Structure 1
Amino acid sequence: MIPIRYNVRSLAVRKTTTLATAFGVALVVFVFASALMLSEGIKRTLTTSGNPNGAIVMRKGSDNELSSVIETPTMSLLLAAPGVEHDQAGGNQPLGAGEIVAVNTIEKLGADGISNVQLRGVTDLSAKLRTNLKIVAGRAPAPGSDEVMVGERIRGRFRGLDLGQSFELKKNRQAKVVGIFTAGGSSHESEVWVDLEVLRTVFRREGVVSSVHVLLESPAAFDRFQAAVEQDKRLGLLAMREVDYYEKQSEGTSMFMQVLGTLIALFFAIGSMIGAMITMYAAVANRQREIGTLRALGFSRRSILFSFLVESMFLATLGGAMGAAASLLMGFVKFSMMNFASWSEIVFEFHPTPGILISAVVLSGAVGLIGGFFPALRAARISPVTAMRA
């Protein structure tokens, strides 16, 4: 077996081509890992929006809250269903609230054009249903007023969406931002919260809500609650666990990013394989005498083949490690894009995981293996006599 240090020395001698090839592989790994990290960030942002003890009720056949309509009188039946938690400190009031979801078009800052921002009409109980919600600046809006609070992730990304600023809920009706809130990194941080009655008036949703959110006694209570909600076919309602609902909302956007990132990485990978192949072919051509000497010393064709494959994979893995390390910097980047489920803009974070980094490095090894196979095969087939005469 040819010592590994022979391959390391060969790569060190050819610094320029080594670095160029490693950089190409690093770019592939960076794109691939970043796409997977963004996909993971999308999933985490949306799935953390759901409370394990929470349930959401919508109109059957609706894909999301935006397209759902529930008549207000129906809410009393839902809040009286078995399994709903009650606020013992608040007069044994059932912990549930009807909410309205709408979108508003607002000018983006730092970019040309406009985009949709999701508005959520809420009540005092809405905050109690999101146990991770925390006001980090300002205060909560006064009930019945044209005051709003804005999620931390979209703060300052749109005109008027910062503390003390104002924007139009509709033409000639201004809403003032009096608070900024966080919600554990969930999608709620990309929303604007407005008083339910104000939003109902602005968008003419009198007598209806988009959805009803309830807090259950425990996750096991969901089956009883679901059965009570869906047994009356005349109501035409559907109950889901909040975590399941938000996970379903993430599927389209997450899949889109995975496919797009994988396709881009695939094209880059093909280019990197060609680059690795050219590099290794050049190495074989320039080291024919070395190969001949190795054969004369008794090393077999198989040893030569294995040695050049190891060199190619080591080179590619070096680039993969560089790309994976660079992709970790994306964890500090926030990225906004349209959520295909709600057709509103949501801010996501790139979320690295050990599995993603391992997959990225494995990809770089595959690039090195495929790109280096044919040059290694050529090196193994060189005749010792021909090599010594080169």
Structure 2
Amino acid sequence: MIPVAYNLRNLTVRKATTAATAAGLGLVVFVFASVMMLANSIERTLGRSGQPDVAIVLRKGSDAELASSIEEQQINLILANADVAKRGDGKPDGVAEIAMVILLKKLGTDGLSNVQVRGVPDDVMAFRPAVKVIEGRPAQAGSDEVIVGKAIMGRFEGLTLGGKFELRKNRPVTVVGVFSDEGSSFESEVWGDVHTVGSAFGREGSVSVVRARLISPTKFDGFKASIEQNQQLGLEVQRELEYYEKQSEGMNMFIGALGISIAFLFSIGAMIGAMITMYGSIANRQREIGTLRALGFSRFSILISFLLESTVLALIGGGLGALGSLAMGMVRFSMVNFSSFSEMVFTFEPTPGILVGSLAIAVVMGLFGGFLPAVQAARMSPIKAMRG
């Protein structure tokens, strides 16, 4: 076999073409890896919002919180179920919430966008212990105060500590705190008192959703059956994890289809670039190829050698693209959740699988881009090559 050092030397000799081709391949890998990282972030962000032992109760036929309505008298019936866990004070471990959407001016643009507002009870922190107020203080029960998720804080007019905005016309509220929730989708919401939010939107006497923590995840089927079999309630039950999985499907499909389409188009250009580079290399190295054949190297050895060269070139570009994509971890990207029609903020979250997969894409492009030139080099007549 032809020594690998021979191929590496040829890549370093042709610095300009090597750099240009590697940059093209790196761009494709950068786009592909970034798209996969964003899709992973969407799945993880919404996945962090769900807990395996929490059941979510909605009005039957509702596919999201915004479309659901549960009467207040039904809340106690739901939480009194024997499968619902109890807190230390003996109260059922559950919350009833109102989910609404408002329009706010987005800072840095001239446009408006939707922001999800959640009306929560005063014991919501007991139900969600992962939620922490990281700036300011919690909102007081029954007041016109709200707290804002850290992901959306400062992205809209009024959503800053001490800022004010209107839930509805002539219903101003004041931001008194900023909260975090381990990167979940709740960090893209505004939380206020459930009664304040209910009265602002004319939702007195009803809520959007009831969440109940079960004694064990294995109790879900029994809890679901007891709630749904009561026809008078007209409710349906889902696992919270499954609910958020469904919420992420639309965005994941959109981002995946768009990103892969762009990466595919770019990859065609990158493979053509690699092919042109390799053809140019062969044209300038005919005598070298003839000498290799004269020295006894087989056509197969030459084929493998040039394929190896294009693969190494692809790995260089792929490595640069993968490293570049890691910088996207510092970028925050917002888009509209197709289920709630409100804006959510995501980051780009890499995984070893995404990086390895991106490098594999680079190798495939290198093989496809270098195959035809390698075949041409292998078929070259040694006598004609020496004369050329």
**Which amino acid in structure 2 is aligned with residue 197 of structure 1?**
H
2:268 is paired with a residue of what secondary structure? helix
Partner of 2:185: 187
Q: What is the correspondence of 1:200-215 to structure 2 with a 5 Å cutoff?
A: 200-215=198-213
Distance 1:261 1:376 in 2: 31
Matched to 1:153, the amino acid is A
The match for 2:33 is 33
Match for residue 285 of structure 1 among 283, 298, 304: 283
Q: Say whether 1:222 aligns with 2:224.
A: no
Structure 1 segments (4+ residues) deviating >3 Å = none
Contact 1:277 1:371 in 2 (8 A): yes
Aligned to 1:337: 335
Counterpart position of 2:385: 387
Kindly provide the amino acid, as one letter, of the partner of residue 149 in structure 1. I
Matched to 2:306, the amino acid is: F
CA distance in 1, matches of 2:171, 2:235: 34
Cα deviation, residue 126, structure 1? 2.0
Q: Which residue of 2 aligns with 1:156?
A: 154
Match of 1:374 among 372, 375, 386: 372
Q: What SS does structure 2 have at the residue aligned with 1:174?
A: strand
SS in 2 for 1:124: coil
Asked whether the equivalents of residues 95 and 125 of structure 1 are also in contact (C-alpha less than 8 Å), the reply is no
What's the C-alpha RMSD, in Å, of the aligned pairs? 0.9
Q: Pick from 307, 310, 313: which aligns with 1:309?
A: 307
Deviation at 1:50, TM superposition (A): 1.1
Q: What stretches of structure 1 of length at least 5 have no aligned partner?
A: none
Q: Give the match's secondary structure for 1:56.
A: strand
Q: In 1, distance between residues paired with 2:270 and 2:232?
A: 60
TM-score (norm 1): 0.98
Matched residue, 1:53: 53
Q: 1: distance between equivalents of 2:201 and 2:173?
A: 14
Give the match's secondary structure for 1:73.
helix
Count of aligned positions: 388
- How far is the alpha carbon of 1:118 from its aligned partner? 0.2
* Aligned-partner Cα distance in 1 for 2:149–2:292: 66
Alpha-carbon shift at residue 127 of structure 1 (Å): 2.0
CA distance in 1, matches of 2:333, 2:82: 41
Identity %: 57
What is the alpha-carbon distance in structure 2 between the residues aligned to residue 362 and residue 226 of structure 1? 44
What CA deviation, in whole Å up to 9, does each residue of 1:157-208 have, x standing for no partner? Answer: 0000010110111112211000110011000000000111111111111221
- Matching residue's letter, 1:18: T
Match of 2:80 in 1: 80
What's the counterpart of residue 12 of structure 1? 12
- For residues 95-147 of structure 1, give each alpha carbon's deviation from its aligned partner in whole angstroms, at most 9, with x where no partner exists: 11211100000001122311000000110222222121000011111111110
Kindly indicate whether the alpha-carbon contact (under 8 Å) linking 1:98 and 1:122 is maintained by their aligned counterparts in 2.
Answer: yes
Pick which of 263-272 and 241-250 moved more.
241-250
Query: What is the letter of the counterpart of residue 299 of structure 1?
Result: F
Q: Deviations over 1:309-334 (max 9, x none)?
A: 01011101110011001111111211
Please tell me whether residue 239 in structure 1 is matched to residue 240 in structure 2: no
Q: Which moved more, 1:205-214 or 1:360-369?
A: 205-214
Would you say the 8 A contact 1:51–1:130 is kept in 2?
no
Range moving further from structure 2, 78-87 or 14-23: 78-87
Following the alignment from structure 2 to structure 1, what is the Cα–Cα distance between the partners of residues 333 and 242? 24
189, 194, 197: which one aligns with 2:195: 197
CA distance in 2, matches of 1:124, 1:168: 21
Is 2:93 the counterpart of 1:95?
Answer: yes
Cα displacement (A) at 1:283: 0.4
What displacement does 1:305 show?
Answer: 0.7
